[in-house]
Structure 1
Amino acid sequence: MKKHIVVLTGAGISAESGIKTFRDADGLWEGHDVMEVATPEGFAANPELVLNFYNQRRKQLFEVEPNQAHKDLASLETHFKVSIITQNVDDLHERAGSTNVIHLHGELLKVRSTINETDVFEWKTDLLLGDLCRNGHQLRPHIVWFGEDVPMIETAINICETANVLVIIGTSMQVYPAAGLMHYVPENTPTYFIDLKPNIASKKHLTVIAEKATIGVSQLFNLLTRS
């Protein structure tokens, strides 16, 4: 039976493909206060601004490509069972070839009804005011905004509980509930933390790789496939 490698990824892995994160030094996301564009209150106050913001993010997604870190993670599936739990809303893991990806914070290439959160559609073009679900309600980005429940968290916890190896890449592990996932892996699970500025507390069986994702995941691939 193949080892189960569970990978938690954050903005750091997509940054090398050219996707910015609102957790840059200025606290803004592409020049916007996150409270304006990533909260239900922001959407209620100015839905057109919010829809346009995500339209720009969606367009940007078609201008970038998976980087070597995404590709190396996909290649791990040749050797192991790999589950990726990502805080990212892009589709770069899937485009690189990963087949088991859980998106905790939603997906840019999907939209959903403002009334029924399970009424979800694939969406690759601009989303406008007046675009309605089948029941006549305005559509919104399929993104988990601040203050909203994270519907995939239970699925993610169940996956972490079956990990033989845990890998954390490009995330500060400061945002909950995602940050709590590492506590659900079985005790004594080997853990690898890949980040240019690792800030993880000391933990048994922890290997820190203080590199950007493309370099760190390449090193990880060699470590795991040699052992």
Structure 2
Amino acid sequence: MDAELFPRSRTEIAPGAVHLPDWLDADRQRQLLEACRVWARPPAGLRTVRTPGGGTMTSRQVCLGWHWYPYGYARTVVDGDGSPVKPFPAWLADLGRDAVTEALGPDAAATAPYDIALINFYDADARMGMHRDSDEKSDAPVVSLSVGDTCVFRFGNTESRARPYTDVELRSGDLFVFGGASRLAYHGVPRVHAGTAPSELGLTGRLNVTLRVSGF
């Protein structure tokens, strides 16, 4: 919203965890959406993730650079069509570095280049349980970009999935970065607010682009 009673501003949710509202302008959101639509096409396209216990994630996912599966990484879609994972573009690595620089400062961005993207698509009924991003060898900050519907992002602690946690509203264009003491914090998405995406995007649902450094 352009005019709010309480305008949204940069917020440190926990040490090393920063929310920057409206970080992507309308043009950059459209560009990222169009790129996601290309990446989602087969081969190595959007898939349903199945857990070792036989369950399925309600969000659907496509990966770049390295293919994530529960709970590891591969160069091919080992739990899907077996195709080589799509390449990670240099411009996305630049975006990740810029995001960390703005959120946490230039020292936090002085790491190896970002080389993993996990792109999750949420429809109105999709959720993401509390989990940690712990399958990488690097402790570089995680970069999370939102496009489309607003969601409730639950950011917790490093010890368990239980409280204490903070619920943050992530809207289209928002940036969330977590590193340092919060790098291994549990987090999830308990709710998506359907129909809240900017109408000019032409998107029904929510895209979350998560950037990581593999350390491999």
Same fold per superposition (TM over 0.5):
no
Q: Could you state the TM-score of these two structures normalised by the residue count of structure 2?
A: 0.27
More strand by share: 2
More helix by share: 1
